[in-house]
Structure 1
């Protein structure tokens, strides 16, 4: 590691130049699909489609709103006004300083963007990390949130410690060395292999890799923001979890039985037990991405949440 640090220091200018060139190419290839909103001096990206009751979509780690615009938005926009946000530090939404890794601050920031769009009493869906942000949204604005849908949600403090890449990049050396080298040199095929693991046991849908824009997640700032969010999530969940029983709004908790990334027995089951008005659906054979593996199940969960929630 010391030798690698010396090498990176000596070649820093060349590595940074190559990383900057690749970032420019990634951003040119995958521009914003929606509108850019200014919130407290920062930019928030929102993809808005359809008409009807407001439905907020919050993506998971390493992702962006493109995860939802690939397929799910088209299934919903005939009867909802769908607003898919990029979370802070990811996609085309700016980081929010030291609060970028705070799911509660993320929820407040995105709710301010939603206010500018005239959103009132939305159903809020969060996938994976976005599930924590959705819960924080409702906890901070319980009287202005109609219902929640938590899909594969990382919502409960889990046992054990981070290992591998996320443990390394959270160190000063990892933060200095990892993102520049990956942005400058990592082949996009690495993203394909990572996606295959995230989708397992389901395959990655045809065309998904071309739509999602893996290069957006491969930018130095996105690497750092995503790693900070993942490695620092657990303390926020410890603080949030005692408040879950006070959330009386309808919540649809939906999770794949074969999810090994966010296991349902650690997250979905105790979450549904803690919430006063939760309906739990475990999808047999589904992994971490049921919005692609079984999208109709997610649409049905949203419609159930809408039916259960008062106007």
Structure 2
């Protein structure tokens, strides 16, 4: 999720804090208190699996062919357990993971690189004896799913890329995306966001992500938006998002060598990860890719049109000979 956008609406609070001298201590205490409360409300729902010097949070349910689910920016695996995973668990073994540095997963060395993230997630999946999975990635998670396929082409049955980031784009990102990873952001902006972001501001960010569809009732409480407001997670997410483009530039030439079936689901109303920049180009580059364009759906089709996502997963499994 793009909760870093809260930074721009709380800059005034940062300036006020700087004018008050000893306010940094109070700011830190308030931020720490809110982080502790958020973690108490939203504990891990699965296992914490050791992968070297880090732990990866994994939630498993169902039985059948292995299906790995990888969430997007500044989110966590609860995005999938809100509604989708229970439906999929009727015929797949669903393995949802928190990406490194987000949710309840530890940060790893080189976490900014989707390929390093994919290696860590594959290591956790190996502990669970995951074999030849279908790998689904949403948004930023689409880049990690593609990295998974590039890194393990002989043990990846298929890919499902949902509103996924796949290619470098023109221009840069907004300040709210990049500022948290800077020294100023870490020192002033991020603590202020954690300490003072209101429920209304968080709901406004969610509405922007889901637009033009509405946010499902209970979604924010289920995923635990407070986890996304923790200082470390805001910084880690900004580090990942702000450095993604050069990694995609390195990855994209390899898409032509992906021989597994790939199902791409992208919307023509997605203003976060553009269809023309990502979905269509991936469909052109990958030899066994098929693109489904959803009309009028925003950036969260796993909630706005879950039937389309389930159908894409089933198609990938059938094409891979798993169903």
Q: Which range, TM-score by smaller chain?
A: over 0.9
Aligned equivalents of 1:280, 1:309: Cα separation in 2: 16
Alignment partner of 1:306 out of 281, 303, 317? 317
The corresponding residue for 2:270 is 259
Give SS of 1:210's match.
helix
**Aligned partners of 1:188 and 1:214 also within 8 Å:** no
1:227-285, Cα deviation, whole Å (9 max, x unpaired) = 11110100100000011101011000000110011110110000100000001000011
Aligned residues of 1:188 and 1:215 also touching (Cα < 8 A):
no
Displacement of 1:169 after TM fit? 2.3
Is 2:238 the partner of 1:209?
no
TM normalised by structure 2 equals: 0.93
Runs of 5+ consecutive residues of structure 1 not aligned to the other structure: none
Question: Is 1:108 matched with 2:119?
Answer: yes
2:87 matches 1:75: yes
- Residues 180-207 of structure 1: CA distance to partner in whole angstroms, max 9, x if unpaired? 1111111122111000000000100111
Q: Which runs of 5+ in 2 are unaligned?
A: 1-10
Q: Quick check: 2:71–2:138 contact (8 Å CA) kept in 1?
A: yes
Q: Which residue of 1 aligns with 2:5?
A: none
1:161 maps to which residue? 172
**More deviation, 50-59/154-163:** 154-163
For residues 126 and 256 of structure 2, what CA distance do their matches in structure 1 show? Answer: 26
1:237 paired residue among 238, 248, 257: 248
Contact in 2 for aligned 1:65/1:91 (Cα 8 Å): yes
Using the TM superposition, give the Cα deviation of residue 50 of structure 1 relative to its aligned residue in structure 2, in angstroms.
0.2
Aligned to 2:264, the other structure's residue is in SS state strand
1:49-84 CA distances to partner (integer Å, 9 max, x unpaired)? 000000000000011000000010011001000000
TM normalised by structure 1 equals: 0.96
In the TM superposition, residue 308 of structure 1 has moved relative to its aligned partner by 0.3
Distance (Å, rounded) in 2 between the aligned partners of 1:8 and 1:273: 56
Counterpart pick for 1:197 among 208, 213, 216: 208
Q: 1:210 Cα shift?
A: 1.6
Go from structure 1 to structure 2 and tell me whether the alpha carbon gap of 1:171 and 1:4 turns closer, same or farther (over 3 Å shift).
farther
Moved more, 51-60 or 9-18: 9-18
Q: How does 1:42-61 map to 2 (within 5 A)?
A: 42-61=54-73
Structure-2 residue corresponding to 1:228: 239
2:40 paired with 1:28: yes
Verify the 8 A CA contact 2:98 2:105 in the aligned structure 1.
yes
Shift of 1:105: 0.2
Q: Confirm or deny that 1:125 pairs with 2:127.
A: no
Number of equivalenced pairs: 310
- Superposed CA RMSD in Å reads 1.5
In 2, the alpha carbon distance for the partners of 1:252 and 1:122 equals 14
Contact 2:178 2:239 in 1 (8 A): no
